Amino acid sequence: MAIPNNTPANFAAYLKCYPHSVQTRLKQMRSTIKKAAPRAQETISYGIPAFTLDGILVYFAAFKKELSTYKNAKGSVQFPHNHPLPLALITRIVKYRVRENLARKKK
């Protein structure tokens, strides 16, 4: 799976591009982010779901890859599809990004 060819208009359209098992994980991510950052606004950016709060807060997407546990690169963390989502960790990451964005806004 990869990012859909056409930019989806919203999360529902993005979700339709993936099989049920991936949809379930994407919904979990979305729900966890919304709970961690209830004031954040949902959007589609670069063709994938994102949340903003005084700037980009987080992006999330589905990709078909076999990954080592929590592979990461600058500004990203990738969770393998064959492991449960670390929802507590995702919550901490989103809350950290909220604090970071709000602090930058104050300056």
Per-residue pLDDT, 74:
73
Q: To which H or E segment does residue 59 belong?
A: strand 56-59
List the Cα angle 106/39/42 in 5-degree steps.
Answer: 110
Do 97 and 39 form a contact (C-beta atoms < 8 A)? no
Burial (CB count within 10 angstroms: exposed 0-12, middle 13-18, buried 19+), residue 67: middle
Q: Nearest CA to 61 among 100, 39, 33, 41?
A: 33
Per-residue pLDDT, 67:
39
Domains annotated for the chain, with CATH where assigned, are 11-106 (3.90.1150.200)
> Does 27 have pLDDT greater than 60?
yes
> Does 102 have pLDDT greater than 60?
yes
Predicted TM-score (pTM) of this structure? 0.73
